[in-house]
Homo-oligomer: A and B are copies of this chain.
Amino acid sequence: MARTSGSHSEITGPRILDAALRMFAQHGYAAVSMRKIAGEVGLQVGALYNYTPDKQSLLFGLMRDHMENLVIAWKAQEPAEQPLERLQQFARFHIEYHHIRRDAVFIAYMELRNLSPENFAVIEDHRRAYEDELRKILEEGHKQGVFDVPDPKIASMALIATLTGVNTWFRETGRLSLEEVLDIYSDMVRKAVLA
């Protein structure tokens, strides 16, 4: 079912989001103009405003979708029963999920300062909800005596920083495979909280 040449709305929207995500991650929100995004998709700048009311909404939509999907994807995991296994499951999930979506991860952290206060609060709520998932694991393990975590809130933020850090240096073409990295980090995370 061929369409007229001026009508591609069904695929244009996602292509704009893809281009914006990639370009924001690479050059930064402020450094990427609406014209450059349009050019990457093969449009003139005016056409972008059929898909977003303004540049700010484009950024916020990308960040919000990423954070929402992150929490949803974690909750969709079949939960391991024991705290230690559950922690290992979280470490693996976090590294793999963030590796695949490194552009979105980068933006969701780097561009927080370009959000309005209201939008910032929304993103921070999602982030807190995700951190709470790890905190609950640590608290349960501490209660059972298998972990030694006197401050689960701090520990959850520390461990997430550790795991997210993989994105800053890991490359598919590097010395180690992602599977090997997963093993090393799982070990470190386990030892860091074990009683």
Most B Cβ at <10 Å: residue of A28, A160, A185: A28
Question: Is A30 interfacial (CB-CB < 8 Å)?
Answer: yes
We find that the number of chain A residues with CB closer than 8 angstroms to chain B is 34
Select the stretch in A7-15, A34-42, A163-171 that faces chain B. Answer: A163-171
Question: Is A45 interfacial (CB-CB < 8 Å)?
Answer: no
A185, B158: Cβ atoms closer than 8 Å: yes
**Residue from the list B110, B162, B176, B192 in contact with A161, Cβ < 8 A:** B162
Question: Is A76 interfacial (CB-CB < 8 Å)?
Answer: no
Select the stretch in A53-61, A62-70, A78-86, A148-156 that faces chain B. Answer: A148-156
State in angstroms the CA–CA spacing of A164 and B160 once bound together: 12
